[in-house]
Amino acid sequence: LNDKVIIPKRKFPALTMYTLQGKLLKEITVPGMTDDQKSLAVCGDDSVILSDCGASSVSRINIDSGEVMWTSKQVHGPRGIVCYKDSYVLVTNSNKDTRIWILDINTGESQGY
């Protein structure tokens, strides 16, 4: 994202931001983040979407300010995520009855599945 690499830390509730050369820039603490499986997607120029399977949450995080813009608990066991047309976040889950949830990119509110 904007010449930065962002990685979720597995044992600490944070996103770690590096330069493309590997220099540590900062860590962004994400309240409630677990050490379970996570996915990240780029969202615009200044934020990422984080799915945390263990917390059953999907969050939008501003990487400049570190602010959690919204958190959705509507998808149980979220896994893969992608931002679509700067309007939606598409989320899959880990259940045997896999679906794709559609969340509003600005609010995290469910738009259906």
| 40-76 pLDDT per residue, tens | 999 988 999 999 998 999 999 999 999 999 999 999 8
37 contacts: CB under 8 Å, gap ≥ 6? 52, 53, 54, 79
pLDDT digits (tens, 9 = 90+) for 70-99: 999 999 899 999 999 889 999 998 777 778
Q: Read off the pTM.
A: 0.90
Report which of residues 17 and 12 the model is more confident about. 17
Question: Taking all residues of the chain, what is their mean pLDDT, rounded to a whole number?
Answer: 90
